[in-house]
């Protein structure tokens, strides 16, 4: 089995779905029951439950269309592509589209609606294609599937349970002693009031909060933080990073750990990295960077090292003379021990342990003290 | 001169293969000028990738088995390179 890059999955176990329109090939109630049956296939092996909406935005919007239909993947007439679906997420993510140039049938005389729906909903829940020819998630439609005794393959079950685990045991059934999920640094709780961060950066309008092996990502479209392994996006990056910042003019995020730094552009780690931080102009006495932020307007990047900071000229690509300077001299009120820095709404946010200070760079003063994880709407 | 039938058929299977590899195996669309030759590097590599993923004999060629699978109805989600 395979999941999608970054392993997107639903952050909740109860999902809504809506059948937006219908094919004329079948009575509506046949389509309704095929979709319900397809959802029950996945419900039976996960903690997920589904309820139907008849209007408004559901997590999984199901529609029939021909040719171009508003996304970047037009259908291709009869045969070849039968349907497609998007991995979990907000908006069009999670949706499933069926090519109405196919002959949709309840049996196998045409393209069986239940079988394709069960496959596409596997995508809507986060499974990509399987190489196992017996698996439901194998990409090629298998007209010889035994519909009367349909069962998910072991590969399908292993795949979906790698995302959501097995069904929760209902209270009346005997509960087996379950392993408590590993506590401790493995899975930091995002609303822990003592939560601190290793590094924070923007990335194409999103904000990334790094912690140990993981990072949270938030953006306007996805107010609820998504939690990912760093390695699931950038396998070459280390865990426990020290600093990170985005140079928007280069569409690049630079990530620092120890005396090395990496460059990433979207999902792609850039070739030629890691490089040594001393190539930026730091003296050999500097062993690591604590935090960094880049000012897109001024084209300057600020590196915070212990209680001092350096300024780097992004245009000349060199460290500016007259540095390092004492952080406290130019950012009065800011704790000299800086874990991370973020710029937003014209303010600078200095993170130190579980606290962050909002700093007004024009008034040159701290304006607010907040919890470090205040960005997660806990 | 009009293309003889074999050439036309060959062209049709090349189109099918090109479309298939672009849609599902991330064959870069700008490889077109090479793709007209079945033995161009990127295309052979993608044919092998597709044959491996779908459990076919990995020949790197558009043999009849491979063309047969390419003609089968399937899901529109790519197999690689989402």
pLDDT of the residue at A183: 38
DSSP characters for B4-46?
PHHHHHHHHHHHHHHHHHHHHH---GGGHHHHTSTT-HHHHHH
Q: If we measure between CA atoms, which residue out of A120, A119, A131, A121 comes closest to residue A2?
A: A131
Q: Considering chain B, what is the average pLDDT of its residues?
A: 80
Task: Report ipTM (2 d.p.).
Answer: 0.85
Closest residue, chain A, to B19 (C-alpha): A80
Report phi then psi at A124, rounded to 5. Answer: -60, -25
pLDDT of the residue at A172: 45
Say whether A140 and B76 touch across the interface (CB within 8 A).
no
Distance between CA B44 and CA B40 in Å, rounded?
A: 6
Distances (CA, A) of A35 to A142, A143, A343, B79: 18, 18, 46, 24
**pLDDT at A322 > cutoff 90:** yes
pLDDT of the residue at A228: 86
The predicted-structure confidence for A177-230, as pLDDT tens digits, reads as follows 333 333 344 567 888 888 999 999 999 888 999 998 889 988 866 667 888 888
**pLDDT at A239 > cutoff 80:** yes
**Among the listed ranges A101-115, A211-225, A305-319, A330-344, which one has the minimum average pLDDT value?**
A211-225
Say whether A141 and B72 touch across the interface (CB within 8 A).
yes
Distance between CA A112 and CA A250 in Å, rounded?
A: 48
Which residues are bridge partners to A208 per DSSP? Answer: A201, A217
The answer to whether B2 contacts chain A (CB < 8 Å) is no
Distance between CA A117 and CA A111 in Å, rounded?
A: 11
- Write the CB contacts of A113 (distance below 8 Å, at least 6 apart in sequence): A23, A26, A30, A31, A34, A98, A104, A105, A106
The answer to whether A140 contacts chain B (CB < 8 Å) is yes
pLDDT of the residue at A224: 72
Q: What is the number of alpha carbons within 13 Å of residue A324 lying toward its C-beta?
A: 18
Say whether A140 and B77 touch across the interface (CB within 8 A).
no
SS3 B56: coil
Cβ atoms of A42 and A125 within 8 Å: the answer is yes
């Amino acid at each position: 089995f395979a999941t999608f890059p970054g392993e997107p999955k639903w952050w909740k176990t109860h999902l809504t779905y809506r059948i937006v329109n219908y094919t004329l090939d079948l009575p509506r109630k046949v389509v309704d029951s095929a979709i319900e049956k397809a959802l029950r296939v996945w419900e039976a092996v996960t903690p997920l439950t589904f309820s139907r909406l008849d209007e408004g935005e559901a997590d999984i919007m199901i529609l029939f269309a021909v040719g171009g239909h508003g996304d970047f993947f037009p259908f291709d007439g009869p045969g070849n592509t039968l349907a497609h679906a998007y991995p979990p997420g907000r908006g069009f993510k999670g949706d499933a589209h069926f090519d109405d140039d196919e002959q949709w049938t309840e049996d196998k005389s045409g393209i069986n609606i239940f079988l394709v729906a069960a496959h596409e909903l596997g995508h809507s829940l986060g499974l990509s294609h399987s190489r196992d020819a017996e698996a439901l998630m194998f990409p090629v439609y298998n007209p010889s599937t035994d519909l009367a005794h349909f069962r998910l393959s072991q590969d399908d079950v292993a795949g979906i349970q790698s995302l959501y685990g097995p069904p929760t045991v209902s209270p009346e059934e005997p509960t087996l002693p379950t392993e408590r999920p590993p506590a401790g640094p493995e899975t930091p709780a995002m609303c822990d009031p003592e939560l601190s961060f290793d590094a924070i950066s923007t990335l194409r309008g999103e904000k990334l909060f790094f912690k140990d092996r993981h990072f949270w990502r938030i953006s306007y479209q996805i107010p609820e933080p998504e939690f990912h392994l760093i390695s699931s996006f950038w396998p070459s990056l280390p865990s426990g990073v020290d600093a990170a910042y985005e140079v928007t003019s280069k569409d690049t995020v630079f990530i620092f750990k120890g005396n090395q730094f990496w460059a990433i552009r979207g999902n792609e780690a850039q070739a030629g990295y890691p490089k040594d931080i001393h190539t930026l102009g730091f003296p050999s006495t500097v062993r690591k960077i604590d935090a960094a932020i880049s000012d897109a307007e001024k084209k300057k990047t600020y590196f915070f090292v212990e209680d001092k900071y350096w300024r780097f000229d992004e245009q000349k690509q060199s460290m500016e003379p007259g540095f390092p300077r004492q952080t406290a001299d130019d950012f009065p009120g800011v704790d000299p021990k800086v874990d991370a820095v973020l710029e937003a709404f014209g303010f600078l946010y200095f993170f130190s342990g579980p606290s962050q200070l909002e700093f007004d760079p024009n008034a040159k003063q701290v304006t607010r003290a907040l919890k470090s994880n205040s960005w997660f709407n806990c | 001169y009009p293309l003889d039938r074999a050439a036309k058929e060959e062209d049709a299977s090349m189109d099918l293969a090109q479309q298939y590899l672009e849609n599902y195996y991330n064959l870069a669309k700008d490889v077109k000028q090479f793709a007209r030759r079945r033995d161009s590097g990127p295309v052979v590599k993608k044919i092998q990738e597709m044959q491996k993923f779908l459990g076919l004999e990995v020949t790197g060629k558009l043999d009849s088995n491979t063309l047969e699978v390419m003609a089968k109805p399937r899901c529109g989600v790519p197999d690689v390179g989402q």
